[in-house]
Chain A
């Protein structure tokens, strides 16, 4: 067990004490406590190795339409009370926010009685020696294949609780483990692999090391090709990156309300190909399960794109109340999921006459918001496909691509979903992807 678990009863009691001392019309107290650890390796040895224990408390108070928030890394009853007093003092100086309606009320849509497990005792108890053991497994694969390994193994184990004066009471535990590896081959090749899981025992470190090293060897001595439009097979790592951007650029209710979403004026319309569905579901057991959001509201599944049609938005309580509706439990993190298809990666490659296989994107950023256009680089293994076969590794290229256009041109979808950070994504084959320049490696 994690020695830093405080336990539900203790945390709930602290939050009740804090609520009791608040003179505000409404009060919300959020609290998280737990441990994190991270082992980083590079050049096939551990070069950074750390662990910490963290407490975060947040108090939001409401007087009429005046709202103020305070944060602190505190963990006692007295500390929390003092945080409430600070928030109350701040609120006195606050201005009215006419759009503010209320803190969230207890949802009438309750979470399922049998929530999927959001934590693992094995992850919570993982020691530095165990992390080093897994890292050695990565390095061992790397040594065997004559590459150099870099990466990190991170674990988190936290308790989260929220209580507000309207009756919201949430408490849950989360754990997560993530192993990432970039392997460098002897002849200028790079390869990437990662694995993310609630349970560290679900991470196969040797497989991650092997995948990264094999990709690095395959991408040795890359050739330069002309930047142009190419058919592209995107691995789940690359697909996850674009799905995450797509969601952030389009589906936050607040941005939609302000006219800063590419969905504006298109809700209910087909925006991408009919074979695309994207939803957010923090309760899917394949993702990093998160039962409640930062306001203590139960996480709801939101169908954002349903068979190509824009269907739903992500609401926190503030955005929801502006429309007289309920929060979908999206104050804070998201867990996007794209639908699987029926193809394998080999099917996609075999069906490509001339195109590229992209392992991963790097430094993606919004280029034009309203066309959902992003720019970024390929990284860690980009390959030329000719006549249905991978023929050569190629040097990395920059792309600038509208994601609306790309997701309107998805010809094939992988049958398996991979969890990449908190996004579940398949491999996809896109009819055209626009590369605009190249780099030296």
Chain B
């Protein structure tokens, strides 16, 4: 990280300074993150960016309240000063507290951890990355009405150390990679876009081999053709229909209508002034029928290679798999040490910060709709009259996560068990529990995939988290739809 810099000594000095200043608890996180992004637009390398950020943040409890301060200057002197600043801030917080902060206990942990990758993306020559995207771009632009193309690759390498006065000292290294392509067809006043493999791409805690596995070149012509077809496709019909959702669209559905409302800080009102609260209040835990009996949802931070996986969260709590919905019944939350203490449970280990200068918040890990026993062909064949919709286009949901409206890039009619006409501009609108209770079929493990979402926003200042959603296509009955216009 920094040659000759003794991280252990630095952490000890920071924690000791916090203690001496009056902290009852303190942790320090040092984060070094490198990133690289390559963006091609309409055949040209639009942006080629490398970024590097390093610094540390100190979080304390003093006088029974929280304080946090951060700095990019990695020196022992600065570390002590920032620890003292965090304690001063905590004392200011204490001037408007109702009670002392309590934390659920956690066993101190020590160790060094890293995810697996085959090819370090930062070692792959830029020419190779650009060539791959350029080939996909060229194929998309062969379609006459495709006027705009976007191709992107993004890579992150994060090294982090967490040390706390509880006795934890945890080193974690993570490499993340992903890519995506999109074709936008324009004809007069009509604009239609198709993306592969998902809007903005797909991402994983893996190396460059993941980008290669996406096979964007092989899918370029198909999505360009579909974008052009959409220009002349009829708008989706209005009314209530059976809806079959493709994986990346279902991933967003899980993200918005399950992932966010199970964040226990939201439930307890801590995000109420910004993103909102949640309809999944604590009185519903263990009894509320969230979905139909086939709906089983987990928050699993232990899936190898998934974007929302890690070894320890930013409070030193080990990664785990938490049952969220069991046979349709709401059964668990994403939690932190503080929010878990409120419920008298142990932390589910979901606290993560977006870099060194942000406090950890409860963030999604991998929120997964567990596989069922159908396959997509059977599911379509079993549907007499419905719509198959794919790829996120538009999303909006109320501040308790009940009323949502999502739009998809493309949809197809399902008639008598077969896919038929293509529709454009589909939007569907429902209430979260009604929607999940209408789920009557979920595809199986063969079609189950953990989609990586690298842009989940939450908190103030806004923090961006990398999360995952394991899903397979699923069917929902009686969903209200109309065409956006």
Residue in chain B with minimal CB distance to A184: B272
**A53–B72 contact, CB under 8 A?**
yes
- Residue in B46, B190, B400, B429 whose beta carbon sits within 8 Å of that of A436 in the complex: B429
| A70 adjacent to B51 (CB under 8 Å) | yes
| CB pair A129 B92 closer than 8 Å | yes
Ranked nearest first, the 9 interchain pairs of A and B with the lowest CB-CB distance are A128-B92, A93-B126, A50-B68, A439-B403, A52-B70, A150-B273, A71-B51, A182-B273, A73-B53
Task: Please judge, given known A-B contacts A98-B44, A148-B269, A379-B399, whether A69 and B148 are in contact too, CB under 8 Å.
Answer: no
Q: Which residues of A contact B429 (CB under 8 A)?
A: 398, 436-437
Partner of B97, one of A46, A98, A398: A46
CA distance A438 to B404 in the complex (A): 10
Choose from A40, A86, A260 the contact partner of B191 (Cβ within 8 Å): A260
A-B contact pairs, 11 of them (CB 8 A): A42-B272, A55-B72, A86-B50, A93-B130, A95-B44, A365-B396, A398-B396, A398-B429, A400-B405, A436-B429, A439-B398
Q: How many angstroms from the CA of A362 to the CA of B148 in the assembled complex?
A: 30
Question: With A44-B98, A75-B72 known to touch, is A398 a contact of B272 (CB < 8 Å)?
Answer: no
Does B269 lie within 8 Å of A43, measured CB to CB? Answer: yes
Q: Is B90 an interface residue (CB 8 A)?
A: yes
Q: CA of A182 to CA of B399 in the docked complex: distance in angstroms?
A: 12
Our pick among A49, A151, A370 for the contact of B66 (Cβ within 8 Å) is A49
User: Is A364 on the interface with B (CB-CB < 8 A)?
Assistant: yes
State the CA gap A52–B191 with chains docked (Å).
Answer: 43
Query: Using a Cβ–Cβ cut-off of 8 Å, how many residues does chain A contribute to the interface with B?
Result: 86
Q: Which residues of B come within 8 Å of A, CB atoms? A: 42, 44-55, 57, 65-73, 85, 88-93, 95-99, 125-127, 130, 134, 147-148, 184, 186, 189-191, 268-274, 276, 279, 357-359, 394-400, 402-403, 405, 407, 425, 427, 429, 431, 460-461, 480, 482, 484-485
Q: Tell me, rounded to whole Å, the shortest Cβ–Cβ distance linking A71 to chain B.
A: 4
- CB neighbours of B398 from chain A (8 A): 362-363, 377, 379, 396, 398, 439
CB distance from A57 to the nearest CB of B (A): 10
Whether a CB of chain B sits under 8 angstroms from the CB of A115 is no
The interface stretch among A131-139, A168-176, A217-225, A333-341 is A131-139
Main SS class of interface, A: strand
Residues of chain A having any CB pair with chain B under 8 Å: 36, 38-55, 67-75, 86, 90-91, 93-99, 127-129, 131-133, 135-136, 139, 148, 150-152, 154, 180-182, 184, 258-260, 264-265, 362-371, 373, 375-377, 379, 396, 398, 400, 402, 436-441
Q: Is the CB of A367 within 8 A of B48?
A: no
Nearest Cβ on chain B to A323's Cβ, whole angstroms = 16
- CA–CA, A376 to B399, complex, Å? 10
CA distance A51 to B186 in the complex (A): 46
Measured between beta carbons, the chain B residues less than 8 angstroms from A371 are 485
Residue of A nearest to B33 (CB): A73
Separation of A235 and B273 alpha carbons in the complex (Å): 18
In the complex, A38→B462 CA distance in Å?
A: 11
Given contacts A52-B69, A375-B405, 14 further A-B contacts (CB under 8 A): A43-B268, A46-B97, A50-B358, A51-B69, A54-B72, A71-B51, A75-B72, A93-B125, A150-B269, A150-B273, A258-B148, A365-B394, A440-B279, A441-B402
With contact pairs A50-B68, A373-B485 given, residues A95 and B461 touching in the complex (Cβ less than 8 Å): no
Asked whether, in the complex, the Cβ of B405 is within 8 Å of the Cβ of A93, the reply is: no
* B36, closest chain A residue (CB): A90
CB distance A49 to B65 under 8 Å?
A: yes
Inter-subunit contact B425/A368 (CB<8 Å): yes
Contact B48 A73 (CB under 8 A): no
For residue B188, which residue of chain A has the nearest CB? A265
Q: With CB as the reference atom, state the residue of chain B lying closest to A99.
A: B44
